[in-house]
Chains A and B, each alone.
Chain A
C-alpha cells in the first residue's frame, strides 16, 4: 500500500463523489446557520442566555410556529400590544386635586385556540402611588372587572393568570350573567370565552378591549402599559421552560459546536501525527518515550479527570476544549502516524536527502510530514463528530459551559426540564438532529476522503 495523494486528490474525492458532496452540502447548511447566528443574534449571547427578563415576552414551552402548517386548528402566536398602541387621554380635576388617566387598547383575537398566558406591564412615572382599575371588554360587550390596585413608580408586571382578583372578577361577571362557573378557573381561557349561560365557554373571536383607568394626586404623573397575550407557538424552534428562543440557542450552538469539534480535531490530529512522526524519525529514546507515554495516555480514563477538574475549577467551553486537547496530545494517531512514517522513511528519497546533507528537521518537515497529510486530514474530518458528541455528552453530564448555549447544553436543559416525559419534542429533537447532521456530514466527507487515504477503496 502506498501513501500517496495530495491536495488535488483530497479536493477531487470530496467534490466528485456523492457522499463527499452530500457531506459538504450538510456542512454548508450548518455553516449557514453559523452565519445566521451572527446576523440574527446581534447581542452578547453568553450574558443574555440566562437573563430571564430578556426573554419575558416569549411564551413558555411553545413548540415552533411551523407546526401550524400541519394543524387544522391553528395555534395562536404571541400578540404584544405596545405602549404606542394604547389610546390615551388624561385630565386634571383642580378641585379634587386628582389626575385621571385612561388607557385603552384594542386587540383583534382571531385564533381558534386560547392563548397560554396574559400579562400586562404598567410603567408608572412621577407619581406617589396610583390607583389603577383594569377592565377587560369582550367582543360581545361583556365587561370584566379585572383588578383594582395601587401601583408605585417603576415597572409593575401584572400576571393575570395567577392573580386572585382577576379570578374573582371573572367569577363576579359570571354570577352577574347567571353562568355556572367551571371547576377550574383559568383566566387565560375564560378571558377569551363566551361567559353567557348559553355560551358554553366557547372561544370568542373578535375585537377585545383592555382598559386602564388610573387616578393619582400628582399632576405630572404618567402611566404607560404593555399587554402581552402569549401564544402557543413561537419562532422556528420553539421555546424552553425559561421562555428562551431555542432558535437562538441552536443557531449559536452551530458555530460553537463546529469550532469546538474542528479546533479539537485539528489540534489533536496534528499534534498526534507530529509526535508519531517524531517518534519514528528520531527513533531510539525519543521513540521509546513517546510510545510509552502514548500507551499511558490511551488508558487514562478521560471522564473522571474531567469531572475532577470541573469540581475544582469553573469550566467554560474554551477551558473544556483546552482540557480535551491536553488529554488527547498522545493517542491512536500517534501510533498510526509512527507506523506510516516508518514506511515513508524507507523510501529512497529520504536517504537521498540525507546524502545531500539535509538536516533531520528539514527532512521530517519537508519530506515525511507532507506524506502523512492526507491521513491527517481524514483523521481530522472523522474525529470532528466525536468531539461534537463529546461536548454534548459532557454538557449532559453537567460538565459543560453553563453560560454558553450549546447543542449539548440545550439537550441537557431539556432533560432536566422533563422534555422527554412531557412530550416537548422540539426541545430535544431539534438540537439532537443537528448534532446527528453534523456527525453525518463529517462522516460522509470522511468516507469520501477514505478513498484518498486508503487506495484499496478506490473505485477506479
Chain B
C-alpha cells in the first residue's frame, strides 16, 4: 500500500439480513466484494444505476453502516469494525454531503447553529473559535455576505444555497475525506456546474479526497480524476476518467455513456442503444457475470463464471470476459 492511498477498500461486502419467521434469513447483498484504493487529494467518481449499491458503499466507507466482510483501511488504520469512541477521530476526518438538500438540515436550527453543531460535538470549546470557523466555512462555500445567511433557517434558502451550506457543514471539521452522495442530482441544471466547480476548487485547495457518487456520467468530468462503474454490488470498471469515457471496456459502461442525453436537436431522431431489462435482484444475483442477462455480447462463460478484475492497461481495470485473453 502506497503512502498516497488515503482509503483502502478490500473485498468489502455489505449484506442486509431480511428476517423471515422460522426460516434462515435471506441477505440483500447490496455491496458484494468491492476493492479499490482512494488516493490522497483525488476525486473518485462512483457511477452506477439506482440500487447498484453505490450509496451503501459510500456510507460504509464512512462507517455509517457496519460492513459484513472485507476490510477498510484509512490512512494506515483498520477502521472496519471500530465503534463508539474509537471511531470518533474518524468522524472528524471523514464527512458526507447528501443528495437531498431539503432534508439534510434540522429545520429548527439556523445556519449558525447547523454549522456550530459539528464543532460543539467535536469539542471546540471556545465560542470565538467556533464563530471564526463558521465564518471561514461560509466564505469557502461563498455564502456571502455572511451576515445575510448566518441567522437564516434552512427553509429560507434556495436549493443551491442549501447545498453550499451542506458543503460548509462537511468542511467545517476540516476533513481529509468527503463522500459526496449525488450532491447535485436534486439541483437545477444551472446550479449544478457551479456546485461542482466549488467542490473541485475545495478539493484542489484543501487537498481533500472525494468519493463522488452519482448516476449521471455527464457531471463526472467536471469534478473527478478517476471513475469506478458499479453494477449490482460490484465494480465492473475502474480507471482514469478520460480512458473510461473514451475507451470504455465494459458493455455496461458503454450503455451508460450511450444513455447520456444529448442536447443537440439535430440528433433527436438518432436511435439510441438502450440496455434491455431491469436491474438485478440483490437477494439473488444471477450466477456468472451479473450483467449477462442484459449484455448484448454475453457468451457461455458469462453465464457460469464471474469475471475477475483484470488490469487491461496501467490503471484501467475491468471485470469482463470479453477483455480477458485466454
Q: Which A residues fall within an 8 A CB radius of B?
A: 4, 6, 347-349, 351-359, 362, 366-367, 370-371
Contact = CB atoms under 8 A, between A and B. Distances in A.
Interface in B111-146: 117-118, 121-122
A283 to B, nearest CB: 13
B100 interface: yes
Contacts of B122: 356-357
B103 interface: yes
A273 to B, nearest CB: 16
Interface string B89-105: 00110111011100111
A356 B64 contact: no
A349 B105 contact: yes
Interface string B50-65: 0000000001001010
Interface string B75-110: 000000000000110011011101110011111100
B96 A352 contact: yes
Given A356-B121, A356-B122, A357-B118, A348 B95 contact: no
Given A352-B98, A354-B64, A357-B92, A4 B121 contact: no
Contacts of A354: 64
A358 B103 contact: no
B169 A348 contact: no
Contacts of B173: 356
A6 B108 CA distance: 7
Nearest to A354: B64
B202 to A, nearest CB: 17
Contact of B169 (A351, A352, A370): A352
A70 to B, nearest CB: 55
Contact of A4 (B92, B95, B99, B107): B107
Contacts of B96: 351-352, 355
A356 B98 contact: no
Contacts of B88: 357
Q: Which 10 A-B pairs have the closest CB atoms?
A: A357-B91, A356-B118, A348-B104, A348-B98, A347-B103, A358-B121, A355-B96, A348-B103, A370-B108, A349-B104
A351 B166 CA distance: 13
Nearest to B155: A4
Contacts of A366: 106, 117
Nearest to A357: B91
A327 to B, nearest CB: 33
Interface of B: 59, 62, 64, 87-88, 91-92, 94-96, 98-100, 103-108, 117-118, 121-122, 166, 169, 173
Given A356-B121, A366-B106, 10 more contacts: A348-B99, A348-B104, A349-B105, A349-B106, A351-B96, A352-B104, A356-B122, A357-B118, A362-B121, A371-B108
A355 B64 CA distance: 7
Nearest to B59: A351
A351 B62 CA distance: 11
Given A348-B98, A351-B64, A352-B96, A358 B104 contact: no
A353 B104 CA distance: 9
Contacts of B95: 355-356
A347, A355, A359, A366 — which one has the most chain B CB atoms within 10 A of its CB?
A: A355
B73 to A, nearest CB: 19
Contacts of A349: 103-106
A362 B109 CA distance: 14
7 contacts: A348-B98, A352-B104, A352-B169, A356-B92, A356-B95, A358-B117, A366-B117
Contacts of B106: 349, 366-367, 370
A347 B99 CA distance: 11
Contacts of A351: 59, 64, 96, 98
A370 B108 CA distance: 8
A359 B87 CA distance: 12
A347 B104 CA distance: 7
Nearest to A362: B121
Nearest to A356: B118
A359 B121 contact: yes
A455 B96 CA distance: 31
A340 B92 CA distance: 30
Nearest to B94: A355
B121 A357 contact: yes
A75 B91 CA distance: 83
Contacts of A353: 117, 121
Nearest to B89: A357
A353 B96 CA distance: 10
Contacts of B108: 6, 370-371
B186 to A, nearest CB: 11
A367 B104 CA distance: 11
A4 B107 CA distance: 8
Given A348-B98, A348-B100, A362-B121, A355 B107 contact: no
A387 B99 CA distance: 46
Contacts of B94: 355
A452 to B, nearest CB: 13
A353 B108 CA distance: 14
Contacts of A6: 107-108
